[in-house]
Amino acid sequence: MGGDFNYNAGMDTIRTYKIGVKALGRLALVLAFWIALSGLVVAGQQESKVDLGALDAYLEQARQDWKIPGMAVAIVKDGEIVLAKGYGVKEFGKEEAVDDRTLFAIASNTKAFTAATIALLVEEGKLSWDDKVREHLPYFKLYDPYVTEEMTVRDLLCHRSGLRTFSGDLLWYETNYSTEEVIRRAQYLKPAYGFRSKFGYSNIMFMVAGEIVAKVSGKSWGDFLAERIFEPLGMKDSNIGTQALDGRDNVATPHSVLPDGRTVTVPYTNSIQIGSAGAINSNVHDMAQWLKMQLAMGEYDGKRILSDDNIWEMWSIHTVLNVSQRSKRMFPTRNFGGYGLGWQLFDHHGHKVVNHGGGLDGMVSYVAMAPDMKLGMVILTNSINGLPPVLMYKILDVYMGVEEKDWSRFYLERTKEAEKRQAEAEKKVPVEKKKKRKTPAVNLEDYVGTYTCQMYGDAVVKMEKGKLVLDFAPAPVLTSDLEYWQYDTFDLKLRRIFSFIPEGKGNVQFIRDMKGNVTEMKVDIPNRDFWFQELEFKKDPPKK
């Protein structure tokens, strides 16, 4: 979601990310763009002769094949924008087309911006990459006293806290908690690895980084970002959070595909708390400016925005990621993988690739650069899909002049095969599951009450029209209906459609003590991004 990122998604199989866009600038570039589309060689291109017309057609065909309502793509080469275009529509079933100014949620592509705000403070001498977090946020606390005291700003930005990927994301997703409250509650999360021993993608640690920016600069992370990055780069349309989209017309609508194949719209997330981990909205026009600055090693329009040393620091590996044998078979030229500061890193046909994915409800994006080729790209889509990283490989191959592979067809076939296997597995449901009792063999009142999770907060099980309903107090949008299955187990059905839970189904198991009293509740809602298993609900004793 806000940062739905999985390293192996770009390596072994293309999956949906908890995951930028770019565009055109001056009139001369517009003319150059259309000339290029006519089939001429891109000006200054050394690696290969790129037929932008053919690439443009490929992008549109891929969008249609993957059944994505709308998409925007921009490519920057040698400091110039050679492609910036919208494809498809803003909302499924309607005719308004996406263009280079259409706003999308860039989700976890926000993280590179947050790393850049930290870099600005480092350059001013107000902060160090290796400052201890608690020097700036005394309330910061994690699962272990040593980790709490030793966690540095650098650790926050390279996903080596010891927490597993996406741990604690339910704390911010659609909850009424402030950013500080989310961070305070993170102390109850349990580690999956040793501190600094393994990669574990953490949105919450980037939220911490944003709070440090606010504390050190004296401004909110968003205001500091707008003043020091958006404004100098001319990113006039870019903003932060769903609320900033109110009143704007040129905005893409998020979509999801239901299990029956229907494409439906879904609401934007209201999770403003995720801020520095994934709350930026942007378009290809603005993101192209961001790429131009990055590829120029911190310079933009003759002005120095970031030092080349800190650009390199963010592009350097700080957490090593394993290149599996499977990855090596799929990408024979791959030799390394890792995570920098807000960026993912690997090599492709001898070129270092700096990249990142992003995904929130109904939106997936991808940003990538091959710095030694002065090549950058951004892909924004308004549905949950695996196409953006696929298109990254296509564009890289085209510009690198290597033997081209139909990445879209290759991964689409793999995706369909995976979906088929999953559907077949779901058919093999235990026989007893199908023999659901019509009448509960228990007293439903036994389960009614408030259940408290030290990390998450309260959940309330109540009766409505003779049936049980589960309310998550911090996140009312997760309200679910419970239907009796057997013993102390109930089937769960969410009332709202979420793109990360296509089925919207799960189960709840209640646990009794030796006297037969219900004392605990375990919630399991299979999905791509959130760990409901982290919620340890204990039933409050009845009031006397």
pLDDT one-digit tens code per residue, 114-159: 999 999 999 999 999 999 999 999 999 999 999 999 999 999 999 9
- Residue-wise pLDDT for 168-206, tens only, equals 999 999 999 999 999 999 999 999 999 999 999 999 999
* CA separation, residue 333 to residues 323, 326, 337, 371 (Å): 11, 13, 12, 17
**pLDDT, averaged across the chain:** 89
Query: Which is higher by pLDDT, 521 or 529?
Result: 521
Average pLDDT over residues 96-120: 98
Average pLDDT over residues 384-406: 94
- Residue-wise pLDDT for 443-475, tens only, equals 999 999 999 999 999 999 999 999 999 999 999
pLDDT the model gives residue 258: 85
pLDDT the model gives residue 259: 81
Average pLDDT over residues 73-77: 98
* CA separation, residue 285 to residues 82, 104, 137, 297 (Å): 12, 12, 36, 19
Dihedral sign from CA coordinates of 107, 109, 115, 120: negative
* CA end-to-end distance (rounded Å), the chain: 42
Q: Which pLDDT band holds residue 416 (cuts at 50, 70, 90)? A: confident
* Residues comprising the chain, all counted: 544
- Residue-wise pLDDT for 313-365, tens only, equals 999 999 999 999 999 999 999 999 999 999 999 999 999 999 999 999 999 99
How many angstroms separate the CA atoms of 25 and 286, rounded?
9
Residue ranges of the domains in the chain? 7-122+213-420, 437-539
- The yes-or-no answer to whether 7-122+213-420 and 437-539 have a common fold is no
Share of the chain above pLDDT 70, in %: 88
Most confidently modeled range among 22-36, 64-78, 248-262, 264-278: 64-78
Partnered with residue 498 across adjacent β-strands are 501
User: What are phi and psi for residue 90, nearest 5 degrees?
Assistant: -70, -35
Average pLDDT over residues 387-410: 94
Question: Residue 182, Cβ neighbours under 10 Å: how many?
Answer: 25
Mean pLDDT is lowest, of 32-36, 243-247, 539-543, for 32-36
Q: Which of 363, 378, 390, 536 is nearest to 457 (CA)?
A: 536
Question: Residue 92, Cβ neighbours under 10 Å: how many?
Answer: 19
Asked whether 334 and 348 are in contact (CB, 8 A), the reply is: yes
Q: Look up residue 256 and give its two tokens.
A: 């999801």
pLDDT the model gives residue 435: 55
> 487 pLDDT exceeds 50?
yes
> 8 pLDDT exceeds 80?
no
How many angstroms separate the CA atoms of 75 and 60, rounded?
15
pLDDT the model gives residue 438: 60
Torsion from C-alpha of 460, 464, 468, 469, nearest 10 degrees: -50
Q: Is 155 helix (H, G, I), strand (E, B) or coil?
A: helix
> 19 pLDDT exceeds 50?
no
Q: Look up residue 209 and give its two tokens.
A: 């980084």
> 428 pLDDT exceeds 70?
no
Place of tokens 């592979």: 405
Partnered with residue 138 across adjacent β-strands are none
pLDDT the model gives residue 129: 98
Topology of the domain covering 7-122+213-420: Beta-lactamase (3.40.710)
Q: Which pLDDT band holds residue 544 (cuts at 50, 70, 90)? A: low
Question: Residue 243, Cβ neighbours under 10 Å: how many?
Answer: 10
Place of tokens 């909110």: 220
Give the right CATH number for 437-539 from 2.40.50.140, 2.40.128.600, 2.140.10.10, 1.10.10.2120.
2.40.128.600
* CA separation, residue 283 to residues 82, 255, 505 (Å): 16, 17, 34
